[in-house]
Amino acid sequence: MASLDPKALVDIASSSTNPSFAVKTLLRASEIYISQLPTASSRRERSQNIKSILAQAECLKQWNYGLSKSEEIILLKGSLLSGCKVPPWNGKPSPEIIDQLVLSPDQINQIDHWVDGREIYGSNIWPDQMEIKQMLLSNCSFVASLIALSPLNAANLSSILLADKSSFTFKIYLNGTYRRLSITPNIPVSLDLTPLTVMSTHLGPILVEKAFHALRNSYDFQGSNSATDLFLLLGYIPEIVRLHSPEIDLDEIRLRGGVMTVGSNKYEEIGQHNFALTEFDQNTVRVVNPWGGSKLHEWTQLHRSFETLYISHDPVQFRHRYQKHFSGPQQFVVHPSHGEICVLLSQHISTWTDTWTAMDVFLGSTKIYDFKNPILKGHKLDSFYTFCRLKPFSGPRILVPVSPSSSNWTISLYSQESIYCEHVASPAFRCKEIALWKGTSKINSSTFITNQQYRITITSVSFVALVITSAKGLVRLDLLSSDERVDRLRSGDCLANSGNYQPSQAVILKVLDPGKYIVIPTCFESTEGGYEIQVESDSFIKLEKLAPYDAGKFKKSLATTNQQVHITVSRLTEIWIIVLSREFIGLQFLAENEEVIWEENISDGRLGLFSGKLRVEKGFYFLKRVGEDEWNIEIISDNRIEVG
């Protein structure tokens, strides 16, 4: 190991998932640098390297990032992006080397051929001071990122690159870990050898740009933002600040530091454009245009010219870190902290499709089902990641990812103080069912009876969470103490409900005694698509889908304006009478001798919906109504009957 280049040792340590090994490797790299000090041409540079390595080793001792087997599998699954293989970093070239990238028709017209960039720029890859300028590619945020990064730590860019005779391998950060991406040095140029790429005196920035575009396999790129760009390039923590928000404190932001750029939606005639921020003074900052040129601005007046501030934080500055890779929806409880905690949630992506991500924060330490009242409502970002800050707090907090995606995720917490974070445990027993909506099914509608209904069985006193989730529509849940299907909800029937109809999700949380209960999901308006109903409990629970109301039964239907309908029953049977009418307000079921067996009047605001279950013997019966309008009759029975 002593013969290795100390830079290579630092590379090996940063890619290791074993904290102990990483610390030992970093300390060995520092020892080699120290041994080289007497003969070093630049003692100052080597001293800075030693300080940086020791600081990184100290951080690693505090970080919690040992991987479970399931996490290793998740990271391996994240090794493909838009057809490009990006396996986890191991200090070696990727098995797939990317040569020429896709060009737009306009770009094709501007180039003549591809050439090895070393033939133009020579073998000296990195300049001491980067001087770059955006040219023909629509990547102002990327170029602004390099300009903003250069005065602070341009050496970070050189550390992400490994070179051999025919390719260059970059260490990028994607889908929860550092990964390797290998490219050839071939670049597109015009007939006079002018590159299509960023203008630079050295090849290094051009290769970084090619690797960045290789993630999309194309130079035809409509732009990103600097926070995202440096997240992918260096694993920097991305933070996006809306400059017009009344909640921001620019003085506090300046003290925190970081690599910063700004974005404008109204720059000259092109609209969106990004600028680098450099030369921070007491009250001013230099705003650098990637096309060339710069101007001093008052720090506190940036909002007059720009909408968004993009900040990228080097994770090495934090002494403590917690990171977890997980699948599907999960919640995390963060225990009390004396220091601020930065939280980064990122989806694992396989394509560059449009998506959004948010994260809400709640009080407590148990699983959240009802998401109405967060103490911090996350901003919905049109991105595969989101970021928030938790101020010092005395009670536990629940972090709840919010996204339409069900992909794999990584959650990372950073702080100067110790962090204690863990998965929120779900109740021991969980059941779920998936079904399709059948038109309008709200509780007072004529089609309520067609709703799918469910029976839950509980064997001991239990806390129960009932959750319905629907991609569309306003939904509601009702819970009844019963063990069989009901035809409608009568006053006093409901043991609990989720309240008014809610968009997408409704919840009932209740402690229930042993027994059987009916759960009824409904939607307010006609809704296409499906829904999922989930039941969780801290003791055994059984969820059953009940058969449709007419399953295995005989059914007779009739629409008429007559005042009464004759029914003939040939043997003892159970019948279920369902009647719908717009006008009449009363209904009677009579024996042949006109004895009233059952009757019902409208008194609860329903629009002429009648329903009754009867057990009747062989004989002749009449169904009589009070009213003038046409009525629709449906009779469900165990045995054949005649209706006329």
For 234-269, what is each residue's pLDDT tens digit? 899 999 999 998 888 998 999 888 999 999 877 666
Percentage of residues in the chain having pLDDT higher than 70: 87
Please tell me the CATH code under which domain 554-643 is placed.
2.60.120.380
51 compared with 310, residue with greater pLDDT: 310
pLDDT at 450: 75
Residue 604 has pLDDT above 50, yes or no: no
pLDDT at 34: 73
> CA-to-CA distance for 336 and 31, rounded, in angstroms?
38
568 compared with 37, residue with greater pLDDT: 568
> CA-to-CA distance for 68 and 188, rounded, in angstroms?
43
The model's pTM is 0.77
Q: Does residue 283 have an active-site annotation?
A: no
- Quick check: 437 and 527 in contact, CB under 8 A? yes
| pLDDT band for position 23 (cuts 50, 70, 90) | confident
pLDDT at 497: 92
| Pick from 260-269, 300-309, 596-605: least confident | 596-605
* Encoded tokens for 588: 């009677």
pLDDT at 41: 59
pLDDT at 56: 61
CATH of 237-315, one of 1.20.120.1760, 3.90.70.10, 2.40.50.100, 1.10.3430.10: 3.90.70.10
Helix axes 6-15, 19-36, angle to 10 degrees: 170
Determine the average pLDDT of the residues in 551-575: 86
Catalytic residue from among 49, 139, 274, 289: 289
For 471-510, what is each residue's pLDDT tens digit? 888 899 999 998 888 877 776 778 999 999 988 889 999 9
Give domain limits for the chain. Answer: 6-62, 71-234, 237-315, 318-423, 429-545, 554-643
The DSSP secondary-structure symbol of 488 reads S
Catalytic residue from among 213, 273, 313, 320: 273
Q: What is the mean pLDDT of the chain?
A: 84
Q: What fold characterizes domain 429-545?
A: Jelly Rolls (2.60.120)
- Quick check: 205 and 213 in contact, CB under 8 A? no
627 compared with 117, residue with greater pLDDT: 117
The DSSP secondary-structure symbol of 64 reads B
Residue 63 has pLDDT above 80, yes or no: no
Burial class (CB in 10 A: 0-12, 13-18, 19+), 542: middle
The architecture in CATH of the region 318-423 reads: Sandwich (2.60)
- The answer to whether 318-423 and 429-545 have equal CATH topology is yes
Q: Does residue 244 have an active-site annotation?
A: no
Q: Does residue 379 have an active-site annotation?
A: no
Catalytic residue from among 49, 59, 139, 140: 140
